[in-house]
Amino acid sequence: MPQSLSKIYLHIVFHIKTTSPQIDEAHLERVHSYIGQLVNSTGCSVIRVGGIGDHVHVLCLLSRNETVSHLVEEIKRNSSRWIKTLGQEYECFAWQGGYAVFSVSESLINKTIEYVINQKEHHKKLSFKEEYIQFLKLYNIDYDERYVFED
């Protein structure tokens, strides 16, 4: 049987619901680590997870046996359940329904890793909404701003 060969890097971004509590900075490292474990549990390979209290960036290598939608569903469903165990303040925690996913060229992996690592500094200058719209424009994705940030 012929072997399927693939190497697809993904940059996944998703946000908390507007009614959800933000993830406290004291918990971010654990949350990002847990999300990385979830990525790996699907057969994909995590490269870097980062973000700030209201959103997450995941850079990973997609498994040839996994779909993007299933990967994101597993990450969001399981991390949301786990985050609720971190404390009473998270009992209403939830991710928004949507997400964005972008392909990343091998030549841009190191630049993307740095981008994910430097989220805290990056968001001192730019809101999540501004960042998100920049990505949509950079990748020429048609969108209706009325629906982009809906829960």
CATH number at residue 68: 3.30.70.1290
Residue 150 has pLDDT above 70, yes or no: no
Question: Each residue of 57-73: pLDDT tens digit?
Answer: 999 999 999 999 999 99
**What is the span of the domain harbouring residue 138?**
8-148
- Domain assignment present for residue 3? The answer is no
Angle at 91 between CA 10 and CA 128, to 5 degrees: 40
- Domain assignment present for residue 2? The answer is no
Instruction: Provide the 10 A C-beta neighbour count for residue 141.
Output: 12
Percent of residues, the chain, with pLDDT higher than 90: 83
Which of 149, 135, 132, 71 is closest to 103 using CA atoms? 135
Domain count, the chain: 1
Sheet-wide strand order for 55-62? 45-52, 55-62, 8-15, 100-104
Question: Each residue of 113-129: pLDDT tens digit?
Answer: 999 999 999 899 999 88
pLDDT value of position 151: 67
- Domain assignment present for residue 1? The answer is no
The residue-averaged pLDDT of 9-26 equals 96
pLDDT value of position 146: 77
Kindly report the pTM of this predicted structure. 0.92
DSSP state of 47: E
The residue-averaged pLDDT of 37-54 equals 98
Measured between alpha carbons, how far is 84 from 90 in angstroms, rounded to an integer? 5
Percent of residues, the chain, with pLDDT higher than 70: 96
